[in-house]
Amino acid sequence: MSIQSCDPRPRVGITAVASLLPEDALSSDDLQREVSRRSGLALPARLLTQATGIVSRRVAGPGVYASTLAAGAARRVLDSAGLSPLDVDLLVFASASRDLVEPATAHIVQAELGSRAHAVDVTNACNSFVNGIDLARSAVLAGRARRALVVTGETPSRAVRMDPADFAEFRSGFAGYTFGDAGAAVLLEEVERGGILDVDSETHSEHWEVGGIPGGGSRHPRGDAYTYFQGDGHELRGVFEKVGTAVIDRTLHRTGMDWDGFAKVLVHQVTVPYLERFAELTGVPAGKLVVTVPELGNVASASIGVQLERVFPGLAAGERVLFVGLGGGISIMTMVWEKA
Higher pLDDT, 173 or 304: 304
Mean pLDDT in residue range 227-237: 74
Inter-residue contact 335 to 132 (CB < 8 Å): no
Q: How many CA atoms lie less than 13 Å away from 130 in the CB half-sphere?
A: 30
Mean pLDDT in residue range 170-187: 95
| pLDDT above 60 for 5 | no
Q: How many CA atoms lie less than 13 Å away from 335 in the CB half-sphere?
A: 28
Which range, of 11-20, 90-99, 145-154, 196-205, averages the lowest pLDDT? 196-205
Mean pLDDT in residue range 290-294: 98
| pLDDT above 70 for 2 | no
Q: How many CA atoms lie less than 13 Å away from 294 in the CB half-sphere?
A: 7
The model's confidence at residue 1, banded by pLDDT at 50, 70 and 90, is very low
pLDDT at 225: 79
Residue type, 151: V
Distance (Å, rounded) from C-alpha 209 to C-alpha 227? 15
Average predicted confidence (pLDDT) for the chain: 93
Q: What does the pLDDT look like over 46-67, one tens digit per residue?
A: 999 999 999 999 999 999 999 9
Q: What does the pLDDT look like over 14-29, one tens digit per residue?
A: 999 999 999 999 999 9
Q: Where are the beta strands (DSSP E) in 147-274?
A: 147-154, 182-191, 195-203, 211-212, 230-231, 264-267
Q: What does the pLDDT look like over 103-159, one tens digit per residue?
A: 999 999 999 999 999 999 999 999 999 999 999 999 999 999 999 999 999 999 999
pLDDT at 9: 64
Distance (Å, rounded) from C-alpha 124 to C-alpha 134? 12
| pLDDT above 80 for 274 | yes
The model's confidence at residue 222, banded by pLDDT at 50, 70 and 90, is confident
Look up residue 77 and give its DSSP letter.
H
The model's confidence at residue 233, banded by pLDDT at 50, 70 and 90, is low
Inter-residue contact 290 to 311 (CB < 8 Å): yes
| pLDDT above 60 for 253 | yes
pLDDT at 142: 95
